[in-house]
Amino acid sequence: MADVTARTGPEQQPELKRVIGPWLLLLFIVGDILGTGIYALTGRVAGEVGGAVWVPFLVAFGVAMITGFSYLELVTKYPQAAGAALYTHKAFGIHFLTFMVTFAVMSSGITSAATAAKAFAANFAEAFEFDSANGLVLTLIALAFIALVAAVNLRGVSESVKANVLLTCVELSGLLIVICIGLWALGFGNGDFGRIVEFDTGDRSVFGGVIAATTLAFFAMVGFEDSVNMAEETEEPSRIFPKILLTGLLITGAIYVLVSITAVALVPPDELVEGDTPLLKVVEIGAPGFPTQIFAFITMFAVANSALINMLMASRLLYGMAKHKVVPRSLGRVHPTRRTPHIAIIFTTLVALGLLLLVGEVPELGGTTALLLLMVFTIVNVAVLVLRRDRVGHGHFRTPTPLPVLGAVCCAYLATPFTDRNPQQYVIAGILLAVGVVLWALTALWNKPHNVKPLGPEVDIR
């Protein structure tokens, strides 16, 4: 294979800094998966399926785990930045498809960060007793929050990872508080744990209700895919990723099931669905003496972590694809002293700010994130099988063949309208992808007179 240096122009670019070891990677994965989904959307999932709210989370965990195996084969085989876009590029070599996967993954990260920003603003208002009904105030808080995340991201990956460690510990403490409150309630007979086996799916069948709820709960399980975009900043990625990624998925899956059971045992589903802070309501009812402002602060830190990690991912994705000349090469520039992809960080931040101004509903942003990623996961599961013919010069993880087949079928089905997904999510996703098509056309027009051609799938840029 050809060896291409990491350049984005005539000048040589510095490499990204490898600072992420096994424990930092585990905290990155756990911190990314936990957070906004469980803190902000538990009530919405309960509204779709009733008291058996843990079932959609368990189904979503199963689909995520299957797809996680596909990501493990690919990240250990190609330990480079850009993740799903890189795998699509190598498997199919179609510039348009690679560009659209790049844009879809970037958009999913940004919509996830915007969801987190909205949840942060709601909990900030609760903690500081602002008027939470004032949409302008909440929007301004969310915009300021995204700007702060960008500042941390620009500062450096070391600072970002350290912030991730702190925020992950805080968000874990919040979920453990909820679980402990549930155990306390169980011990004193205060909770109604009979509700956890009750299904209330309205006019739908139980299967239809669970699938509809899973399409939303899936947002809570995404995040594991972000870690592969940090491969060039991870120490020995081919060796440590399999054990760490699977461990992170198992930890978060167990926590989600326990938290969802606790939530619905203490708060009836019709009450849990009201508002943007469902777990805060669980604490208020389960432990009336517990200072709710503290839990509001914990929730703020949790969703802040989700936003930080997603914005990290989005910028590294663009950086990786700029090295492949799939997106404009300027997005691959690395700051000479901070060694961060500063142009990509600024670009993704501007997109996030625009999204916050245009879309108001957290559930639809979360559902749109899940929809975009389900489309991408379908392609990734297929890419695993296509790339089996590509041999590399080092050992790597290999997933059992039936898993990517099953993963592709499940992800494709969950992305279809047959799951009774809110049509607004398709509208938002369609607009984002339409913007991607326009940007692809502009990139192609710019590349032609400058004689810039995307690198072929056979090129190794390590």
Q: CATH code at 65? A: 1.20.1740.10
Backbone angles phi, psi at 287, to 5 degrees: -140, 80
Question: Is 20 in a helix, a strand, or coil?
Answer: strand
Domain that holds residue 313: 23-447
Please tell me the pTM assigned to this model: 0.79
pLDDT in tens for each of the 462 residues of the chain?
333 334 444 345 666 667 788 888 888 888 878 766 676 678 888 888 988 899 999 999 999 999 999 999 999 998 887 778 889 989 998 888 988 888 888 887 787 788 778 878 877 877 777 665 567 788 888 889 999 988 888 887 777 777 878 888 887 888 888 888 877 877 776 778 888 888 888 888 888 889 988 888 887 788 788 788 777 778 888 888 889 999 999 999 898 888 888 888 888 888 888 766 777 788 888 777 777 777 778 878 877 877 888 888 788 878 877 777 777 778 888 888 777 888 989 988 988 888 788 765 544 666 777 888 899 999 999 999 999 988 888 888 999 999 999 999 999 999 998 888 888 888 888 888 898 898 888 877 776 655 555 555 544 433
Report the C-alpha gap between 129 and 414 in whole angstroms.
39
pLDDT of residue 461: 36
DSSP secondary structure string, 196-210?
A: GG----TTS-HHHHH
pLDDT of residue 71: 93
Asked if the structure places residue 34 within a domain, the reply is yes
Report the C-alpha gap between 243 and 254 in whole angstroms.
17
Asked if the structure places residue 183 within a domain, the reply is yes
CA nearest 88: which of 417, 337, 382, 425?
Answer: 382
pLDDT of residue 450: 53
Asked if the structure places residue 307 within a domain, the reply is yes
Radius of gyration of the chain (CA): 21
CA nearest 222: which of 316, 140, 113?
Answer: 113
Q: How far is CA 167 from CA 78, 147, 174, 234, in A?
A: 29, 17, 11, 20
234 DSSP assignment = B
Asked if the structure places residue 3 within a domain, the reply is no
Report the C-alpha gap between 264 and 60 in whole angstroms.
18
Report the C-alpha gap between 264 and 53 in whole angstroms.
7
Asked if the structure places residue 452 within a domain, the reply is no
pLDDT of residue 13: 60
Domain count, the chain: 1
Question: How close are the terminal C-alpha atoms of the chain, in Å?
Answer: 11
